[in-house]
Amino acid sequence: MKIWLIRHGRTQLNQQGLIQGWIDAPLNHDGRLQAECVANTCRELDIDAIFSSDLIRARQTAQAIAKVICVPVMYTWLLRERSYGELEMRSKHDVCWTEIDGGGPEYDLLGVETRQKLKQRLIAFLHSLSSFPRQLRRIVVITHAGVMNEFCHLVDPHHRWRRFHNTAIHELTYLENY
């Protein structure tokens, strides 16, 4: 199965450098234009299905793609960005990301979702794909940067965290015998 991971379009909070997590911020003007551009790129991918995070920034991006390629969108909370609890709406520059990823007890108190919990959500999503008809061989997943990195880490444990720009597309091959 081919999976194209696509990060949602830009939001005002992205532009301000704030941590969004589960904050439900809509696309800004640039984000809507980015969604239209990525939708046109998707015309060439021969997509069978679109799955999307249920957060509005991903939903709006998915709807732009669905409108162009005439494929319905299936929404799921399993594809949401990692929850950053009390760190949401703070500047990305005010936190120590290596400490957050280490998942120390202080971050549990702040309500930060661990990478292990995020990984469990993504595995649950992948397993849910087996309930769909076999003809779903080429899917698009509209999601968030943290989720995209965790997907890449599932496929390649040596994957190094990278920045996925808004509406970046990353292609994966998923073997159902995961």
pTM to 2 decimals? 0.91
DSSP characters for 36-77?
A: HHHHHHHGGG--SEEEEESSHHHHHHHHHHHHHHT--EEEEG
Q: Is 158 a catalytic residue?
A: no
Q: Catalytic: which of 81, 88, 113, 150? A: 81
pLDDT of residue 95: 83
Q: Other CB atoms closer than 10 Å to residue 113's CB: what's the count?
A: 21
Range of the domain at 34: 2-173
Instruction: For residues 18-24, give the mean pLDDT.
Output: 95
What are the tens digits of pLDDT across the range 83-117?
999 899 999 888 877 667 666 656 666 888 988 89
Q: Catalytic: which of 8, 88, 144, 150? A: 8
- How would you classify residue 71: left for phi > 0, otherwise alpha for psi between -120 and 50, otherwise beta? beta
Residue 135 domain-assigned?
yes
pLDDT band at 177 (very low <50, low <70, confident <90, very high): low
Domains contained in the chain, number: 1
Rounded CA separation 40/45 (Å): 10
- 140 φ/ψ angles, rounded to the nearest 5 degrees: -110, 135
pLDDT of residue 4: 95
CATH number of 96's domain: 3.40.50.1240
Residue 178 domain-assigned?
no
pLDDT of residue 99: 67
The 3-state DSSP class for residue 79 equals helix
Q: Is 81 a catalytic residue?
A: yes
Rounded CA separation 158/91 (Å): 28
